[in-house]
């Protein structure tokens, strides 16, 4: 029996059918397999479906075996996800046009909580400094820092996050054609410890419109988007407006009114974006967002070594910091860092008397 995964692959290659149409097909028919097997007359109720698209689709489906397409793609490049797969980024499923295929390279599988850090390709020294500080702080606190591997703010954010935590880069090219070329070394580092992502197969040509479309994946995967610097005409502003469309939190770094790179952020702030007033305040705001986004579950949370030692130690009425230090054997610095991460993930809460208890 052919899996739903195969139909994501098959529809992805159907002439004239893009991610938005595929989502509409799935919503209308209930599954992409049902859409594939539907009669031509049944497509008229699908928004945006035309007679020409229907004719091309019927001819394509008549000559195509989804199972064989899946096998061929898995032979060429086995490392990819579809929305039918459990490892597909969960928040990305919520956007109007999630990528049907998401090719990846790297060991990282825990893709939340994630925060996008974006900005101009030509930042000021002020923007460079704050991009690095923010990305490093987020990564150290346990957030996955996501950006687009572009020159400027993207690259600075990736580099800062690499040193202390996790980062993922979404490419506008295939994974075999890193752009800009000078970021090839950085891409290799990210692939070693984090994750490289692209919706384009290795043999696909790089097109100009791929670059702004890449932004929807960066933002779609993220709980919040942070714009560091952006001129009035900037690709980073596309990411900002997508964050608003997706009902995700948007932060902007304030800058001097006579600095060209600050104009886009100042405009975003005037339109309601949250102002970054410092690293601690940013972490507190993101932690609150994360708690609100956390869905209660009977399943135990996914924890690393230090976090699991703390989690296992906390029972009943909770534990004080000193009790946790004694019970876990962790140093003060490691314990404080892991506790902050657990709080930001919404797993622990501080109780009266400076005790820590489970939030779940």
pLDDT reported for residue 344: 67
* 302: pLDDT strictly greater than 70: no
What is the sign of the dihedral through the CA atoms of 127, 133, 136 and 137?
A: negative
HSE at residue 178, side-chain half, CA atoms within 13 A, is 17
* 234: pLDDT strictly greater than 50: yes
Look at the chain and count its residues.
360
pLDDT reported for residue 118: 98
Q: Give the number of other CB atoms < 10 A from CB of residue 155.
A: 20
pLDDT reported for residue 79: 95
* Distance, first Cα to last Cα, the chain: 39
Whole-Å CA distances, 7 to 22, 65, 101, 352: 10, 9, 11, 53
Q: Are the CB atoms for 87 and 112 separated by under 8 Å?
A: no
Q: Are the CB atoms for 309 and 320 separated by under 8 Å?
A: no
Whole-Å CA distances, 66 to 16, 73, 270: 17, 11, 49
- Give me 14's structure tokens: 């159907």
Task: Tell me the domains of the chain and their CATH numbers.
Answer: 4-76 (1.10.150), 105-291 (3.40.50.450), 305-358 (1.10.10.10)
- CA angle 302–303–306, rounded 5-degree value: 175
Structure confidence by residue, pLDDT tens digits, 236-273: 999 999 999 999 999 999 999 999 999 999 999 999 99
* 298: pLDDT strictly greater than 60: no
Q: Are the CB atoms for 132 and 101 separated by under 8 Å?
A: no
211's CB contacts (< 8 A; 6+ apart) are 172, 235
pLDDT reported for residue 5: 93
The secondary structure of 80-113 as a DSSP string is: EE-TTSTTS-GGGGGSSS--S-EEEESS-----S
Measured CA to CA, the distance from residue 312 to residue 328 in angstroms comes to: 9
Which pTM was predicted?
0.79
What is the sign of the dihedral through the CA atoms of 89, 90, 91 and 94?
A: positive
Q: Are the CB atoms for 243 and 219 separated by under 8 Å?
A: yes
> Is the bond into 213 cis (omega within 30 degrees of 0)?
no
Rounded to an integer, the average pLDDT of 61-71 is: 95
The secondary structure of 69-82 as a DSSP string is: HHHHHHHH---EE-
Structure confidence by residue, pLDDT tens digits, 151-184: 999 999 999 999 899 999 999 999 999 999 999 9
Greater confidence, 319 or 187? 187
Q: Are the CB atoms for 123 and 228 separated by under 8 Å?
A: yes
Centroid of chain to Cα 174: 17
Q: Are the CB atoms for 344 and 279 separated by under 8 Å?
A: no
- Give me 349's structure tokens: 């809460």
Structure confidence by residue, pLDDT tens digits, 88-140: 999 999 999 999 999 999 999 989 899 999 999 999 999 999 999 999 999 99
* 13: pLDDT strictly greater than 90: yes
- CA angle 259–260–263, rounded 5-degree value: 95
Q: Are the CB atoms for 13 and 69 separated by under 8 Å?
A: yes
């Amino acid at each position: 029996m052919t899996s739903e995964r195969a139909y994501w692959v098959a529809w992805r290659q159907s002439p004239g059918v893009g991610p938005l149409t595929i989502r509409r097909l799935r919503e209308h028919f209930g599954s992409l397999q049902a859409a594939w097997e539907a009669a031509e007359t049944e497509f008229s109720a699908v928004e945006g479906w035309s007679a020409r698209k229907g004719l091309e689709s019927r001819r394509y489906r008549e000559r195509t075996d989804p199972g064989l397409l899946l096998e061929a793609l898995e032979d060429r490049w086995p490392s990819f996800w579809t929305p039918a797969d459990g490892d597909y980024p969960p928040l990305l499923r919520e956007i109007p046009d999630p990528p049907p295929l998401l090719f990846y390279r790297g060991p990282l599988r825990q893709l939340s909580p994630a925060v996008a850090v974006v900005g101009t390709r030509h930042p000021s020294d002020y923007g460079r400094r704050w991009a690095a500080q923010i990305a490093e702080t987020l990564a150290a606190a346990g957030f996955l820092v996501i950006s687009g591997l572009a020159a400027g703010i993207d690259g600075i954010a990736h580099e800062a996050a690499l040193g202390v935590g996790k980062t993922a880069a979404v490419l506008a090219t295939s994974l075999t054609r890193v752009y800009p070329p000078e970021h090839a070394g950085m891409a290799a580092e990210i692939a070693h410890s984090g994750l490289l992502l692209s919706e384009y197969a290795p043999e696909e040509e790089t097109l100009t419109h791929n670059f702004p479309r890449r932004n929807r994946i960066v933002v779609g995967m993220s709980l919040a988007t942070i714009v560091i610097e952006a001129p009035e005409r900037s690709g980073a502003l596309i990411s900002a407006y997508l964050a608003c469309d997706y009902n995700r939190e948007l932060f902007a770094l304030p800058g001097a009114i006579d600095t060209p790179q600050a104009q886009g952020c100042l405009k975003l702030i005037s339109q309601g974006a949250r102002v970054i007033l410092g690293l601690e305040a940013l972490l507190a705001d993101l932690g609150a967002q994360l708690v609100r986004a956390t869905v209660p579950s009977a399943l135990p949370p996914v924890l690393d070594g230090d976090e699991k030692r703390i989690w296992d130690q906390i029972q009943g009425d909770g534990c004080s910091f000193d009790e946790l230090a004694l019970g876990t054997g962790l140093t003060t610095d490691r314990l404080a860092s892991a506790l902050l991460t657990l709080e930001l993930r919404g797993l622990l809460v501080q109780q009266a008397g400076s005790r820590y208890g489970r939030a779940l």
